[in-house]
Structure 1
Amino acid sequence: MRLPALSRWSARDRPKLAVMPTALITGAGRGIGSAIAAALAPTHTLLLAGRPSPGLDAVSRRLGATALRLDLADAAATQAVAATVSELDVLVHNAGVSRPGRVAETDINDWRVTFDVNVFGAVALTLALLPALRRAHGHVVFINSGSGRRVSPGMACYSASKFALRAFADALRDDEPALRVTTVYPGRTATDMQRELVAYEGGEYEPGKFLRPETVAAVVAGVLKTPPDGDIHEVVVRPAV
């Protein structure tokens, strides 16, 4: 995959391009991902990754960021994107998919699709970017879910994928002591995914009952501001209503 107008990012180049640290955010075209991008824009040079969409292009233009066309289920695309990044300060794993359903309502394809993006995609991108993260002594943030701490009814494969993602984050923290690794567990958040879940549950979608994406983004921005003598492993945030 060829990425037009994207040069190799390195510490050597930063004086020419920006003095700010670089952050790569997946699933940045909407919802929590776009809110995190907006929250980090004043302090970071942004690489916004996601499947090609008008939303991703719009967020990138608005924030003056570089859009990276990336399907996390495509291993070749993941390697191509990682090859353009030689040093990376922050990696935010936000992209995810959800296929609501109790165990008996799912089929094996639901599980494969969910794990391909939520787990294998995150693992593949992390492995590909590990050299760049090591050079910067970087910070990896995983946007998990309350379903990654307690299984949610009707969310069988999604919950299982989030438990797996939690385990990967813990393993990464243990195995890469030069990196900081944080898992954020938001409660139910007002996003398109939440709208689909409420429809599956047969309820009426009322955004005011859920966390705002901007609230989750503020938590992420706060984590990244942690002084060097601190290391935040986990953050749990829930709606106040």
Structure 2
Amino acid sequence: MGRGSLSALETPAAVMTRVREEERVNGVRVTSIRLGYVDTAMARSIAAFEGAEYRPETYLRPSSVAAAVRLAVDAAEEAMIESLSIRPRYLGTVWAVRIVHCGAPRLRN
């Protein structure tokens, strides 16, 4: 990497932005990936340890995470997906995106 050393005061987002910009000139694409909870053996054992009910529908499937990561890897040569935020869609909750006249999206439940 370029001139920057990792500072304990930098936020992860700032670090990823700096790394992304430093590596862009080298032809390297950098994607930040933020995940919600993923349905894994570890997640199930944490729920059991805490005595909580484990509801798999409130977790992401590992295959869903892999598909999203694949999207970034398979992006066209001229494209770079800078960040992915992958969250579970909770059962029973329906979110719709509505585009208003000015073009800004609004979420409504």
TM class, shorter-chain normalised?
Answer: 0.5 to 0.7
TM-score by length of 2: 0.60
Letter in 1 for 2:20: R
Q: Which residue of 2 aligns with 1:238?
A: 87
Partners of 1:197 and 1:235 in 2: how far apart? Answer: 25
Partners of 1:167 and 1:194 in 2: how far apart? Answer: 29
List, as ranges, runs of 4+ consecutive aligned residues in structure 1 with deviation greater than 6 Å: none
Deviations 1:77-97 (A, max 9, x none): xxxxxxxxxxxxxxxxxxxxx
Deviations 1:80-136 (A, max 9, x none): xxxxxxxxxxxxxxxxxxxxxxxxxxxxxxxxxxxxxxxxxxxxxxx6xxxxxxxxx
Q: Equivalences for 1:150-229 in 2 at 5 Å?
A: 165-177=12-24, 178=26, 179-199=28-48, 201-229=50-78
Partners of 1:228 and 1:210 in 2: how far apart? Answer: 32
| Higher deviation after alignment, 199-208 or 216-225 | 199-208
More contact order relative to length (CA 8 Å, sep ≥ 6)? 2
SS in 1 for 2:57: helix
RMSD across aligned C-alpha pairs, in angstroms?
Answer: 2.7
Shift of 1:234: 0.6
Partners of 2:62 and 2:53 in 1: how far apart? Answer: 19
Structure 1 portions without partners, runs of 5+: 1-126, 128-162
* Structure (1 or 2) with the greater helix fraction: 1
- Residues 197 and 167 (structure 1), Cα distance of their counterparts in 2 relative to 1, 3 Å cut: farther
- Of the two, which has the highest radius of gyration? 2
Deviations 1:46-85 (A, max 9, x none): xxxxxxxxxxxxxxxxxxxxxxxxxxxxxxxxxxxxxxxx
Shift of 1:233: 0.7
Partners of 1:167 and 1:210 in 2: how far apart? Answer: 28
Percent identity of the aligned residues? 32
Partners of 1:207 and 1:166 in 2: how far apart? Answer: 29
Shift of 1:165: 4.3
TM-score by length of 1: 0.30
